[in-house]
Amino acid sequence: MYSDALIDHLRSADRVAVLTGAGISAESGIPTFRDPGGIWEKFEPQELANVEAFLENPELVQGWYRHRRQVVEDAEPNDGHRALVRLEQHVDLVTTITQNVDDLHNRAGSSEVVEFHGNITRNYCTDCEQDVDAARIDAAIEDGQPATCPECEGLVRPDVVWFGEMLPPDAMDRASEATTTCDVFLSVGTSTVVYPAARLPMLAKEAGAYVVEVNPDRTPISGNVDEYLAGPAGEVLPAILSSLDKAA
């Protein structure tokens, strides 16, 4: 499934960077973008995940994200998430760069998480930028009203990156630093077609890292990495960690 070379590289690594995508969260029962079925089936993500839709109908967008948040809150980190936490026992610094907004890496216990697209469990005011508790959103939706800030009455939005918005500069900087300074780079459960995240594996390889892809299906980078490991993260990563534990 994986080579002795990978175990050797991980044993000697000081820094490991990991890029995760929807695949690792799908193993926790989280759909890649939305639940199938129900009233939300008639909406396309592009129709709701943008500023224009939010300003036109904030209650609708808040309700849709509340639905997605509840799906996330009902999910649990899986063996793939937990294996990345275990990796920290062997490597000085493991930085997990995730395209997911579900908070599962944080809940699993990863120490360094870079959230490329934000975190759906957080919300903030569009005017004063103060954090707003999710309970306030839930209460407003139950009352049939748009959720507003308790301080300034501004509209409240989820702390996620919408279509047409720039990625957080801090996340970009941290991801670039981790990618260009790591000894091993793992691309896990991502199709590597959404940029700029899709650029990171090859950026790591150019910087001299040993690059490994873990994915059930081959992607555009599969032929260019040092190892392609076919399979779900929840099976492949724990197997790697078991070998690493034995080699320690």
Q: Which residues are catalytic?
A: 117
From residue 231, how far is each of 124, 138, 237 by CA, in Å? 37, 38, 9
Write out the two tokens for 21: 């995508």
CA distance 8 to 13: 8
